[in-house]
Amino acid sequence: MMEDSKNLLKKVTVEKLSFGIGDVAAATGVSQSQLRYWESKGYIQSEVINGSKNRKFTYKTLINVQQIKTSLDDGFTLAGAAKQMQKRADYFDTLRSFFESRFEGMTVTDELTEINLGLFDPEPGKDLVARRVENKWQFKLIDHTK
């Protein structure tokens, strides 16, 4: 079970999901012509899948489109909205990288939520564990488990 939870993030491979331009337009409310324009300006990218001429967009790109649209709705210019989207994308890429490299396991029960963040560098032999108690996160060191 611990191995399953350790590989949880790797099993959720949203990067492999792809959508046609019509799907992205329907999901985000951004027209297909806008999507083509944004792509021509380099704000988003599509991929060619199996030699097809149809545009395919990753799930991450779909999220980026939604982020740009939200910023445009908030009054940003397209260039400003794309810059905001890139900042958010960098932030979430960093966060995901951290959890992919540090995540060792998770326990979730009715009474307890714990996330094991692996070896605590200053104290070899100890794991750093985050525990949620009454909706607040607390940290503790426990003996390393293999």
pLDDT tens for 53-73 read: 777 999 999 999 999 999 999
pLDDT (0 to 100) of residue 7: 61
The model carries a pTM of 0.72
pLDDT (0 to 100) of residue 1: 43
Whole-Å CA distances, 138 to 3, 22, 124, 141: 24, 45, 20, 11
pLDDT (0 to 100) of residue 134: 84
CA distance 87 to 79: 13
Q: pLDDT at residue 138 above 80? A: yes
